[in-house]
Structure 1
Amino acid sequence: MSNGKKLTRKLKKNLPVTGPQAPTLYELMQWYCFTTNTHGCRRIVASKGRLRKWIWIGLTLTAVGLVFWQCALLLMSYYSVSVAITVTFQKLLFPAVTICNLNPYRYSAIKSHLTTLDADTEKALKDLYGFVETTIRRRREADSPEDGLYLKKMPLFNLESVNGDELVVKDITSKKRSRMRARVMHKEANSVSVGGENIVGFKLCDPQNSSDCTVFTFSSGINAIQEWYRLHYMNILATIPMAEKIAMGYSADELFVTCFFDGLSCDSRNFTLFHHSLYGNCYTFNSVERGNLLFSSMGGMEYGLKVVMYIDESEYNPYLITSAGAKILVHDQDDYPFIEDLGTDIETATETTIGMQLTESVKMSSPYSDCTIDGSDVPVNNLYNKKYTFQICLHSCFQREMIRSCGCGHYDQPLPAGEKYCNYMEFPSWIYCYFKLNKRFVQEQLGCQSTCRQSCSFKEWTLTRSLAKWPSVSSEEWMLRILTWELGNKINKNLTKHDLANLGIFYQDLNMRSISENPANSIVTLLANFGGQLGLWLSCSMVCVFEIVEIFLVDSFWVVLRQRWHKLCKWWKNRRANQAQESPNIPVPAMAGHDNPICLGDEDPPTFNTALHLPQVQNSQVPRTPPPNYNTLRIQEAFNEVDSDSEDEHL
């Protein structure tokens, strides 16, 4: 390598790095390591010796990894919440209390609609077990119905053997054995054990496809008869007008015998009618529809609600209801009372006292949890016209799928505008469609459980229930006599203790427990934690982070872009040069004259141009000017010193 090139390289190497304007990424990174406040990067470049460099490289990379790990943990904990529980003592709003008789309609009022169904049920019981209820026959006082109408629509079977889809069954009515192909669905277990005649079920088929059938089996004839009866019962109720159903139920004056709240007397005017599809006329105490809501002034039984209810067990439907009493549900005024799912049973001839404790919960919405504030962001239409809850969403979703798949709505849920309830006359296949849809719903195949979300705020009452025999033996006679006398205008019989139920419901104390969620970290705390991690592991601040972003993203991008641009320009110049060399040379004819040696004669005088064409003398050396002696400038020794130093540094 010539001395000039050595000088250029050494001077260029010892010149300061030009920072963001560096021509290469190596020079840019070298300048950053010398000028940054991050100590690890500076030590990598400034350290003498290869071992120290590798040690600092390892320490710096470890610190960077720890910073990323800790910052990732901080980001994940940013969306966590902390739960705060507070207990406050204040005057509490008394909740809404919905009370229903377990018997939805007076049997004497609805028997005209159930004549045929009851006759088929008695026939099935007689054929199965030889049972005849003569008292029920006398009480019904109905005309002779059409025999076997509902048994023909949905026949009952004794299941004798099962071999895959091959079934051997015995018809209850005709006593004939037959083979059929159908799926078996056991309503009380995952498997069917066939070894006797206690396996009772009914067969459902799709009217549009006779080969699509399912036999629903039960381990007890009681469960089979009740399920079979309930399906036909709901089909009949779907055809009865609402005004007639309300008239067949119990009025508030008939249901409530005595009433006290907060030490003061109350009556049926304090209750609001709520018609339930399964329990008939229910009544809500302290409902929002009545306007002025009631508060509990103190805790204890004397300051709660106390009612005595007339159950009227003699009017119970023997096939629909097998237990006697009432059902109650404590809920918020804005909530829909799902009494069939969450209700508490009240026994007859018993005093039931229920102590309440209020808990109010508030959860954080997105991004902290998947709950919804008011249900407006859930793609399910609320059919209940009440405050959004998870149960409302599930029932509304199922009813929507029921209408879409079966063409009609189930009787125990509200209907969208313009739709109809399912019944045999208009929708003959609705029962089979309902069972198939309900199976998919239970197995979470309809998507309702994944679509619906929990509510972010809700109230919950923890109930403590206690029972006592009521009335006592010593007080039974006079109490029942007085109550019979007071109800003389409403009933025409002497009351027994099994016709009455006593309920007391109250706040145990006025302490309200609030459970609220708050963000575990604020944005200020998050940034402070980020700064602490950066200072702990890399000894830098957020300004250093911005500097790193600028160097490794912005400046590096421009360096690479400049290098690409220079390569592109160089390639373009080389291409133009190659094109110029490949272009053809067009010969130009020479002009005749004295410069043309061909035209010269022997007598023409020689010229300078002709002298250039003369042959040169062999073995002749033309003296030339000797090159300058650079050693006289005395620079070589300095270069030798610089070279030795650089070689030492490389070593």
Structure 2
Amino acid sequence: MTQQQRLRRLAHRLGRARIWMWREPARRSVSAGAEKRSSLHPPKPQEIPFMAEEEINDNSMKGARPGFESTPLRTSSRRSVRSQMAAEVALRYDSVHSVLVDFCNRTSSHGIPFFGSSSFWPRPIWVSIFIFCTIFFLIQTYFTIDEFYGYRTIFQLNLKFEPAPFPAATVCNLNPYKFSELKKFPEIANAIAKWENALTEKPDLSLRILEATGKRKKRQAEFQPIFVRCTCNNPNDRCVPNRNEEANTQVCLCFEDVSTGYIWPCYPTTEWTVKTCNQCSFSNTCADPDRPNATMPFNQNVSCLCQGISHNCVIHPKNEIRWWNPNNYTIYPAEPPSAETPFSENLDLEGVFDKGTMTTRIKESVSYMVSELPQEIKHNLSYTLGEFVLRCTFDGKDCNMTELFQVHRDADYGNCYTFNFNTSLEVKSNRAGPLYGLRLLLNVNQEDYLPITEAAGVRLVVHERDQEPFPDTFGYSAPTGFVSSFGLKTKLYTRLPHPHGQCSDKERPKPYIYGDHYSPEGCYRNCFQMEMINDCGCGDPRLPLPDEQTKACNLHNATQKACLKKNNEAAGGVYRTKKACICKQQCTEYLFETSYSAAAWPSVNFVIGQGCQGAQEIFNDSTACTEYYRVNTAFLEIFYEQLNYETLEETQGYTMTNLFADFGGSIGLWIGFSVITVFEFLELIFELAYYGFVVVPRRIHKTLLEKKQRKKRHGLSIPQLLYKHMPSHSGTKMFPKKSSKEATKSKSEEAAVLSNDTSMATLPPDGKEIDEWPP
């Protein structure tokens, strides 16, 4: 070995020893926490990187306090608290397994701490127990949530002792229209006449006896035929009487009301015929068709003059038919017409022999025909407030009729009158009992009842002030000649809206034919009317129309009438079920339970007062007044039986508080969790996320950096390593800097020497640190 080789080996060993002496203080300056961890898990040598010169200057020299030797593991004092926490997590957990083991050792839940047991057999047993309990917890939680979303409700009953608001009361006459006014309309009078004709088609001995005894002859003589000069537009249509003789007028045959002089419908003379009838009823209808060989009891061969379009018949006069003149009548001989028209089927009475069915159909027909009339005419056909309500007192005081009553038009009962309709007026009853409620004396006037009205009395509906009364569906009937007492008990229902219930105070169908007065009954009728309009192109005449553009069905139109009949008969009419018709109950609703009692009225010795004067003048008898009131009037008493009222409030049967209570009980019973345990699991999730997204990427980055530095360091020659890491003495380098040519020459010489010198084989192999060599 030459002298030069010996010097090079010595320099190499001196440089390796110097590097080892510089790294030794870094080993001794590791923190206490790291020493404890290293005692359990000795760190590998490559975990302490051989740092580059720039990193040594940045971490150990900058900001270092005098007398304190900074190491690569010590950080700057300017590091934030969050960075320190991150470093602690990084130092504490080396893997996901260590994170989970640490959680098992410190969690407050039951069973999970046994997962980290050092023994093998307890771990699978406790895992199985925990899974088993978790399954039962999930099952019970499912039923708990299902109970909550079932939206179960309960009713709470309370009793309030305070004056309740007095309800609205709607009263109607069971007879909707005055017969004296209604018979002025020929079409309606003809319909009633046809109904009576249908009633007498089958033999009825009692009716025959009445006709034979002449008890109905008074009305038979009310009408007579008369010739009138008319203007006719269509041959089969009604003609209009003309007061002036014009060139385009023609002769018509009309009915004349003898008592009033009113001219009934006029038709051309070709539309009238002479028929031989069994009898002519009070409504001038030929009761039976021609029967030349009739042998029925009380049969009479009567010559009648019948009209073929309206099927109205009148007794043929034995003398000449008179001519009508606005001022006087002139009698001329005239020949009766001979043409006959077929029988009409408009009222659907053919083939029906049950009197109840006939009466129901004629009532519907009359209701339809009256509904087609203008509103003003319909109002005049029925009873006015002064005619119907004779007396009214409330809470012992007289009623203000104009402020407390409002007319309500009903297709079946005509003019009805609602007491306490005004929501702006507060009407309360201060005391219980009939004397301090609403007392009404109502006149029904049976003398002017329609023949189709079966009962005499009034109809009462007790309802809320902002609702439609619907007397044809709800309410009670009170007879004449009695004091009918209706004791009230109020119940206030409060319902829950969606999702616990299906009530609504504001939601309603659009359009809605009853305005702001919503009720489920009104909603059903609205749906029926809308369905009728969609199917038939016209509305039911008995119900309100949604707008002015929609017209009511015309009974003279065969297509519209057939569609109207089909919709009324199909699936219950108004109450048929429709998928598109959703009628919800009100969320706040007052219900009035009614108890009924009655007593005869008036008593024999009761002094009625001035109201009897007219009756005594008519009947000229002292008892006539009492009998008149007994027949024609009804007395109503509407009052509270007691001032307290019940409230039924719908409340949630299973609230959010119940849900949390049951959930907490279940989770504590089966797996021993609490709210604190939930936060512990949240902390575990955070630590796992931090480990996966922060610690692992840092370690990967650190490993790549170490490999890069190691690769760079191993690529340097031994003199360059000594020159870079060994400190200089007296400001001079151990090896002076060479030029590029000299450096290239020295590298080639070193390579030649090392290739020939076998002693250099003792240098550290690739991948080993210098301080680990020699062994």
Among residues 561, 564, 572, which one is paired with 1:430 in the alignment?
561
* Correspondence for 1:538: 671
Unmatched tracts of structure 1, length 5 or more: 1-9, 148-171, 176-201, 206-213, 564-651
Q: Deviations over 1:126-158 (max 9, x none)?
A: 2234556756674373538799xxxxxxxxxxx
Among residues 399, 406, 414, which one is paired with 1:280 in the alignment?
414
Q: CA deviation at 1:441?
A: 5.5
Cα contact 1:380–1:397 (8 A) shared by 2: no
Alpha-carbon distance between aligned partners in 1 of 2:428 and 2:349, rounded to the nearest angstrom: 53
Q: Deviations over 1:238-287 (max 9, x none)?
A: 32111011111111111122222111223643422112121111111122
Letter paired with 1:351: V
* Correspondence for 1:244: 377
User: Does the C-alpha gap of structure 1 residues 534 and 508 become closer, same or farther in structure 2, counting only changes over 3 Å?
Assistant: same
Alpha-carbon distance between aligned partners in 2 of 1:20 and 1:77, rounded to the nearest angstrom: 44
When structure 1 is superposed on structure 2, of 340-349 and 425-434 the one drifting more is 425-434
Alpha-carbon distance between aligned partners in 1 of 2:589 and 2:92, rounded to the nearest angstrom: 59
What's the TM-score, normalizing by structure 2?
Answer: 0.55
Among residues 390, 395, 399, which one is paired with 2:525 in the alignment?
395
Letter paired with 2:570: K
Letter paired with 2:113: R
Q: CA deviation at 1:227?
A: 3.0
Alpha-carbon distance between aligned partners in 1 of 2:399 and 2:127, rounded to the nearest angstrom: 85
Among residues 161, 168, 176, which one is paired with 1:104 in the alignment?
176
User: Does the C-alpha gap of structure 1 residues 81 and 416 become closer, same or farther in structure 2, counting only changes over 3 Å?
Assistant: same
Larger radius of gyration: 2
Q: Secondary structure of the equivalent of 2:605?
A: helix
Letter paired with 1:475: N
* Correspondence for 2:337: none
Count of aligned pairs:
495
Alignment partner of 1:383 is 2:513: yes
Among residues 344, 355, 358, which one is paired with 1:222 in the alignment?
355
* Correspondence for 1:475: 605
Alpha-carbon distance between aligned partners in 2 of 1:98 and 1:257, rounded to the nearest angstrom: 15
Alignment partner of 1:125 is 2:199: yes
Letter paired with 2:219: R
Q: Secondary structure of the equivalent of 2:593?
A: strand
Cα contact 1:287–1:293 (8 A) shared by 2: no
Q: CA deviation at 1:37?
A: 3.0
Q: CA deviation at 1:329?
A: 0.8
Q: Deviations over 1:313-348 (max 9, x none)?
A: 2222122x2111100111111111111111111111
Alpha-carbon distance between aligned partners in 1 of 2:677 and 2:617, rounded to the nearest angstrom: 91
Q: Deviations over 1:506-532 (max 9, x none)?
A: 111110222223334554554354334
* Correspondence for 1:211: none
Letter paired with 2:411: S
Alignment partner of 1:354 is 2:521: no
Q: Secondary structure of the equivalent of 2:592?
A: strand
User: Does the C-alpha gap of structure 1 residues 367 and 268 become closer, same or farther in structure 2, counting only changes over 3 Å?
Assistant: same
Alpha-carbon distance between aligned partners in 2 of 1:66 and 1:252, rounded to the nearest angstrom: 72
Cα contact 1:360–1:458 (8 A) shared by 2: yes
Alignment of 1:199-598 (within 5 A): 221-266=354-399, 268-269=401-402, 270-288=404-422, 291-319=424-452, 321-375=453-507, 378-417=508-547, 418-425=549-556, 428-436=559-567, 438-440=569-571, 444-447=576-579, 451-472=582-603, 474-475=604-605, 479=608, 483-485=611-613, 495-520=628-653, 523-524=656-657, 526-545=659-678, 548=681
Alpha-carbon distance between aligned partners in 2 of 1:379 and 1:551, rounded to the nearest angstrom: 55
Q: CA deviation at 1:545?
A: 3.5
What's the TM-score, normalizing by structure 1?
Answer: 0.65
Cα contact 2:130–2:671 (8 A) shared by 1: no
Q: Deviations over 1:578-615 (max 9, x none)?
A: xxxxxxxxxxxxxxxxxxxxxxxxxxxxxxxxxxxxxx
User: Does the C-alpha gap of structure 1 residues 256 and 57 become closer, same or farther in structure 2, counting only changes over 3 Å?
Assistant: same
Q: Deviations over 1:409-468 (max 9, x none)?
A: 11222111121122223574334444336524568442255x111111100111111111
Aligned-residue RMSD, C-alpha:
4.7
Q: CA deviation at 1:91?
A: 2.8
User: Does the C-alpha gap of structure 1 residues 440 and 36 become closer, same or farther in structure 2, counting only changes over 3 Å?
Assistant: farther
* Correspondence for 1:41: 112
Alpha-carbon distance between aligned partners in 2 of 1:459 and 1:369, rounded to the nearest angstrom: 18
Alpha-carbon distance between aligned partners in 2 of 1:557 and 1:255, rounded to the nearest angstrom: 89
Letter paired with 1:95: P
User: Does the C-alpha gap of structure 1 residues 553 and 73 become closer, same or farther in structure 2, counting only changes over 3 Å?
Assistant: farther
Cα contact 1:365–1:373 (8 A) shared by 2: no
Cα contact 1:20–1:551 (8 A) shared by 2: no
Alpha-carbon distance between aligned partners in 1 of 2:522 and 2:688, rounded to the nearest angstrom: 58
Q: Deviations over 1:275-314 (max 9, x none)?
A: 212111111112217x534221111111011112111122
Alpha-carbon distance between aligned partners in 2 of 1:484 and 1:230, rounded to the nearest angstrom: 33
User: Does the C-alpha gap of structure 1 residues 499 and 509 become closer, same or farther in structure 2, counting only changes over 3 Å?
Assistant: same
Unmatched tracts of structure 2, length 5 or more: 1-39, 43-88, 224-254, 256-263, 268-287, 292-343, 697-775
User: Does the C-alpha gap of structure 1 residues 112 and 546 become closer, same or farther in structure 2, counting only changes over 3 Å?
Assistant: farther
Letter paired with 1:483: G
Among residues 91, 112, 115, which one is paired with 2:189 in the alignment?
115
* Correspondence for 1:619: none
User: Does the C-alpha gap of structure 1 residues 102 and 522 become closer, same or farther in structure 2, counting only changes over 3 Å?
Assistant: same
Q: CA deviation at 1:203?
A: 9.0
User: Does the C-alpha gap of structure 1 residues 427 and 255 become closer, same or farther in structure 2, counting only changes over 3 Å?
Assistant: same
Q: Secondary structure of the equivalent of 1:540?
A: coil
Cα contact 1:256–1:309 (8 A) shared by 2: yes
Alpha-carbon distance between aligned partners in 1 of 2:634 and 2:447, rounded to the nearest angstrom: 14
* Correspondence for 2:277: none
Letter paired with 1:119: A
When structure 1 is superposed on structure 2, of 280-289 and 337-346 the one drifting more is 280-289
Cα contact 2:371–2:542 (8 A) shared by 1: no
Q: CA deviation at 1:386?
A: 3.0
Letter paired with 1:467: A
Cα contact 1:380–1:393 (8 A) shared by 2: no
Alpha-carbon distance between aligned partners in 2 of 1:243 and 1:37, rounded to the nearest angstrom: 85
User: Does the C-alpha gap of structure 1 residues 204 and 117 become closer, same or farther in structure 2, counting only changes over 3 Å?
Assistant: closer
User: Does the C-alpha gap of structure 1 residues 23 and 226 become closer, same or farther in structure 2, counting only changes over 3 Å?
Assistant: farther
User: Does the C-alpha gap of structure 1 residues 279 and 38 become closer, same or farther in structure 2, counting only changes over 3 Å?
Assistant: same
Alpha-carbon distance between aligned partners in 2 of 1:216 and 1:124, rounded to the nearest angstrom: 8
User: Does the C-alpha gap of structure 1 residues 311 and 215 become closer, same or farther in structure 2, counting only changes over 3 Å?
Assistant: closer
